[in-house]
Structure 1
Amino acid sequence: MSELLSVDGIDTYYGESHVLFDVSLSVDAGEVVALVGRNGAGKTTTLRSVMCLTPAAEGTIEMDGEEIQDLDPHDVRQRGISWVPEERRVFGGLTVAENLRLAARGGEEDRTTQIERVYERFPRLDERRDQHAGTMSGGEQQMLAIARALVGPETDLLLLDEPSEGLAPQIVEDVADIIRELNDEGVTVLLVEQNAEMALGLADRAYVIETGEVVHESPATELLNDREAMETYLGVK
């Protein structure tokens, strides 16, 4: 596999608060990589730094061999990175079609083509294109959030922030299936997830972040089967 994303020694701040300390990780093309850790460990900030929403003050971030840490978020998206933020953030008062149209880019023909591709990938959204997003189930809203991130330039790397948050166990499985299907179709995934067992069950490799520092890296199954490490790092017994 070739390296798609490389994060090398980044330090990130919120104002005067130092949040990430020398964080390094990599994602190879075709992988699902999980970034797990306790609440407040720095998982979301890492994704925000990759998207240049909260730019790193030190270190480098490369996408497909080119540095991106100084780009605007819009330009990061143009490089093939999409972000699905925590809590989904769909527009509840708008229909599925309207949510997708807001995310589409280009002329009318291009926008229509982008949205139709999404409907082909997510038939359930096609069935609900005229339904208001706020009336959909949590799992369907998460599907819409993922679909919205895929509208526009081709997505090579999908950043997913807590996609199972607030969902019932069966719906979590449905979301996991969506992630597997996207990965099977060639989308590389960096997955931030509080549900460590779900994330590690999906991932090829895993990083554990603790108080802003990466403290563990291993194949995902190795971490999942190491009950002592799971309890020490993640509080999972």
Structure 2
Amino acid sequence: MSELTDVGGENDARPRSSSSRRLTVDSIETYYGDSHVLFDVSLSVGDGEIVALVGRNGAGKTTTLRSIMGLTPAKSGRIEKDGESIHGLDPHQVRKRGISWIPEERRVFGGLTVDENLRLAAHTADTDQRERIEEVYDRFSRLDERRTQKAGTMSGGEQQMLAIARALLGPETDLLLLDEPSEGLAPQIVKDVESIIRELNEEGVTVLLVEQNAEMALGLADRAYVLETGEIVHESSADELLADRSAMEQYLGVQ
């Protein structure tokens, strides 16, 4: 796209199933009880992309991820992974299809050690899984240093690294859903998390990134969608959105 596109206008194009699309979300409607939260939401994530879903607090970003994972199932619409429907599947079935979700606030098991958290994510401590855990320690040297430390006593940045590490264990992951990974982190730690996301993507992991820190998300992403009160209102390349200061202020409150 050469410029920002108003969704619903003449240039509106629904995502269609394609072998090059890792994830397709088409016209989903999601409710919390009687409260209508997502309205005709459509987006796609291509194989190998980082796509940012940005918007103000309460826009429905987390609900979109929960709908994909089957935690808050969409009442209508279509959700596909690699061209196959995952709409209506239980979360553990979605996970088995290669999708990992790292929720907001990390949610590590604070009373368990780093190693216990990783072993729990891997479900077993047999030789094969132990090898994978050791590979995680090779990637995250800070976690290696804290194997026996209780996760709840670590810094927010270290807990975020642990949350990402856990997501890489268990069934093979080729699509990572990240919800506010920079929340509450010091600027230098945010840069560390950015580097981890970029490295995983370079290794073949596709990423759908929900992030309140729009400039951080757009700096990482290939493309971006803006969600406002449950509706997609703009989509563009991430660079185009980042350069459009009027749109950044209008939709995201960024001066």
Corresponding residue for residue 162 of structure 2: 144
Deviates more, 1:200-209 or 1:167-176: 167-176
1:209 is aligned to 2:227: yes
The CA deviation at 1:28 is 0.5
**Match for residue 105 of structure 2 among 87, 91, 94:** 87
Partner of 1:19, secondary structure, is strand
Tell me the distance in 2 between the aligned counterparts of 1:5 and 1:235. Answer: 28
- Give the letter for the 1:24 counterpart: S
Partner of residue 230, structure 1: 248
Tell me the distance in 2 between the aligned counterparts of 1:134 and 1:52: 28
Matching of residues 42-53 of structure 1 within 5 Å: 42-53=60-71
Secondary structure at 2:73 match in 1: coil
Question: Quick check: 1:125 aligned with 2:143?
Answer: yes
Spell out structure 1 runs of 4+ moving beyond 6 A. Answer: none
Deviations 1:92-116 (A, max 9, x none): 2211001111111357334323322
Corresponding residue pairs, total: 237
* Greater CA drift, 157-166 or 104-113: 104-113
In structure 2, what is the Cα distance between the partners aligned to 1:39 and 1:186? 30
> Is the Cα–Cα contact under 8 Å of residues 114 and 152 in structure 1 kept in the other structure?
no
Greater Cα shift, 106-115 or 140-149: 106-115
- Which blocks of at least 5 consecutive residues in structure 1 are unaligned? none
Opposite residue 17 of structure 1, the aligned amino acid is S
Partner of 2:214: 196
Aligned identity (percent) is 79
Q: TM-score, normalised by structure 2?
A: 0.90
- Paired residues for 1:164-203 under 5 Å: 164-203=182-221
Letter aligned with residue 208 of structure 2? L
Q: Distance in 1 between matches of 2:248 and 2:93?
A: 37
- SS of the equivalent of 1:206 reads strand
Structure-1 residue corresponding to 2:75: 57
Matched, 1:68 2:86: yes
| The 10-residue stretch of structure 1 (39-48 or 172-181) with the greater mean CA deviation from structure 2 | 172-181
CA contact (8 A) 2:119 2:125 kept: no
TM-score in terms of structure 1 length = 0.97
Partner of 1:11: 29
1:115 matched residue in structure 2? 133
Aligned to 1:134: 152
Secondary structure at 2:117 match in 1 = helix
Give deviations 1:191-217, integer Å, cap 9, x for gaps: 000000000000000000000000000
Instruction: Return the letter of the residue paired with 1:221.
Output: D
